[in-house]
Amino acid sequence: MSIAVRPIKEAEWPAFVAVAYEAFSSTYPLEITDRWREIMEIDRLVSAFDGDLAAGCAGALSFRMTVPGGPIPVAGVTSVGVLPSHRRQGVLTALMTHQLHDLHDSGREAVAALYASEAGIYGRFGYGRAADALSFRIPTHGSAFTRSAPADPALRLRVARPADELARLRRVYDAVQPGRPGLYGRSEAYWRAEILPDTDHDRGGMGPLRCLIAEDASGPRGYALFRARSGWNEHNVSDGEVRLLELHAVDPAAYALAWRGVLDRDLCAVVHAERRPLDDPIMHLLAEPRRLNAVWIDDLWVRLVDVDRALAARAYAAPADLVVEVEDEVCPWNAGRWRLKVAGGEGTCERSEAPADLTLPVGVLGAAYLGGRPLGAAADAGLVREHRAGALRELSAAMAWDPAPWGCRVF
């Protein structure tokens, strides 16, 4: 078998989709495919061809994603798949290597990020687990807020039709996004294709998409998007559920009010909230935080395409001056020693011939890039080798960031 990886042509879009659907065992209706096409960039889609047969696919979305210090261009890697007939034959390696080399050659983005369908796949291509998330299952009965929960009498909660509120939702999200590493900018097309659709397929057995907006006379300050399902058990006691899709707010009072609106919904016994940030304030708002029933999952995976450009693009929390030796078999231009010098929160990164202060794989740097992964645990796992005492703590302190990284919605 001879595999050739190349960009697809517009006429090859159906074949690209067919590979993705087969790889993910998907049964999306045509309308979903049409929506998907609205946000996919043909010139950023590649397929692996076995002769004339498209056997693998991979794409990238042109995002501005927040990193410590603010948003930068990031390639949002998506739709990566291989036909079952061609797995374990080097097709995925060919796709991922081609994509990374293309990113480097084009210079478009120094950083790539993705959501992994399986957590064990992408580490071998230099991606690091850079963000985690929590999923909650909150019984509404007895989930009272603390007495100190913030409140603002000027705020009110309004039930709204999501499709009519795009401008207000964007106003809140766009205000929140630059402050949270991992959040990525959303175009109007992305909102309409990925966030606000409400077909039977999108509902997945739940009710229609619903919206609560926390606002005052000046406009929206927070919102919650969710679906609800009514139901009663055998004793005729209501056991409906709410599935929270996202909740954002620009200040604590609006955040608390939006959460109250979700948790106080009549006839609903439980709220499922998937992919919430590790530092979600709801943990401090509930009088009994054990009722969150939290489950920890991986969120964003990050890959430094060009180590020097990526490290110079973000801000830092502490000064540092050290030489890092990077191990990178997939992107050899990254391998070797780099001097990272940080002063006043800004960093420079240049090639160095000086002895290394520590050595680590590029995936460990990717995991630490958004500021939420201290390096000590990686060192304890044998992934980082410290050559100068204190270098590990120095680099870890510099790369740390608050708030915790979080991508919110899978792309």
Q: Residues forming the annotated binding site?
A: 80-82, 88-93, 117-118
Report the binding-site residues for acetyl-CoA.
80-82, 88-93, 117-118
User: CA angle, 56 as apex, 55 and 61 as ends, to 5°?
Assistant: 150
Instruction: Decide: 364 and 392 in contact? Cβ < 8 Å.
Output: no
In angstroms, the CA 209 to CA 243 distance is: 10
**Which is nearest to 129 in space by CA: 115, 139, 140?**
115
Instruction: Decide: 8 and 46 in contact? Cβ < 8 Å.
Output: yes
Strand order in the sheet with 70-82: 3-7, 45-50, 53-67, 70-82, 111-115, 300-304, 128-129
Instruction: Decide: 23 and 48 in contact? Cβ < 8 Å.
Output: no
What tokens does 296 get? Answer: 């920890």
In the set 49, 184, 223, 411, the catalytic residue is 411
- Print the SS3 string covering 272-328: EEEEEECCCCHHHHECCHHHHCCEEEECEEEEECCHHHHHHHCECCCCEEEEEEEEC
Instruction: Decide: 43 and 34 in contact? Cβ < 8 Å.
Output: no
In angstroms, the CA 317 to CA 319 distance is: 7
Q: Which residues, other chains included, contact 350 with Cβ-Cβ below 8 Å and sequence gap of 6+?
A: 308, 338, 339
Q: Residue 249: what are its φ and ψ, rounded to 5°?
A: -155, 155
In the set 122, 184, 226, 255, the catalytic residue is 122
Instruction: Decide: 103 and 75 in contact? Cβ < 8 Å.
Output: yes
- Give CA separation, 28 vs 34, 61, 115, 259, in Å: 10, 20, 19, 32
- Known catalytic membership, residue 127: no
Q: Residue 73: what are its φ and ψ, rounded to 5°?
A: -65, 130
- Known catalytic membership, residue 411: yes
Please, what's the largest Cα pairwise distance for the chain?
A: 74
What letter does residue 192 receive in the DSSP assignment?
I
Amino acid identity of residue 71, one-letter, is: P
Work out the number of other CB atoms within 10 angstroms of the CB of residue 266: 9
Enzyme catalytic residues: 122, 411
